Structure 1
Amino acid sequence: MSGVALFGWTLVVACGPRAMPDPRDAARAYARAAAAGDADALYEMMTSEGRQSHGREGVQRLVEETRPELERRSQSLSRGPLVAEARAELGYADGEVAVLELEEGTFRVGAAATLPAGATTPQQALVELRRALAQRSYATLSRALADGTRRHLEDQLSSLVRSLEDPEAADVSIQGDRATVTLPEGHLVSLRREQGVWKVEDFR
Structure 2
Amino acid sequence: MRFRLALVALLLLSACGSGAYVQQGPSDALRAYARALQEGRVDEAYRLLSDEARRSMSLEAFRRAVKENPEDVQEIGRAIARPAADPVVTATVTVPNGEEIELVFEGGKWRLDAAAVDLYGQSTPRQALVGFLRAFERKRYDVILRYVPDAEKEGLGGLGGGAGEGSAPGEGAAGEGAAGSKRADAAQLTPAKLKAAWEGAQKEQMQRIVQAIKAALPTATIEETGDSASMAYGAGGTVAFLREHGVWKIRDF
Paired residue for 1:109, among 113, 123, 127? 113
Task: Quote the residue 2:151 is aligned against.
Answer: 151
Picking from 117, 123, 132, the partner of 1:118 is: 123
1:132 matched to 2:132? The reply is yes
Q: Hey, which of these two has a bigger chunk of helix by percent?
A: 2
Deviation at 1:88, TM superposition (A): 2.1
Q: 1:81 to 1:142 in 2, by over 3 A?
A: closer
In structure 1, how many angstroms separate the alpha carbons of the residues matched to 2:129 and 2:90? 22
Task: Name the structure 1 match of 2:249.
Answer: none
Is 1:8 aligned with 2:11? no
Matched, 1:90 2:93: yes
Identical residues among aligned pairs (%): 23
TM-score (norm 1): 0.53
Deviations 1:49-96 (A, max 9, x none): 211111222222221233212212323344555432322223434443
Aligned residue identity for 2:113: V
Corresponding residue number in structure 2 for 1:42: 45
- Which of 1 and 2 has greater Rg? 1
TM alignment of 1:47-86, pairs within 5 A: 47-79=50-82, 82-86=85-89
1:84 aligned counterpart, secondary structure: coil
The alpha-carbon deviation at position 37 of structure 1 amounts to 2.9
- Matched residues in 2 for 1:135 and 1:55: separation? 50
What do you get for the CA RMSD once the two structures are aligned? 4.3
SS of the residue 2:204 aligns to: strand
Between the two proteins, the alignment pairs up a number of residues equal to 155
Per the TM alignment, residue 135 of structure 1 is displaced from its structure 2 partner at its CA by 5.7
* C-alpha displacement of 1:98: 1.4
Whole-angstrom CA distance in 1 between matches of 2:202 and 2:87: 56
Deviation at 1:117, TM superposition (A): 4.4
Q: Structure 2 counterpart of 1:114, which letter? A: D
Considering fraction of residues, name the structure with more strand: 1
Choose which of 24, 27, 40 in structure 1 pairs with 2:27: 24
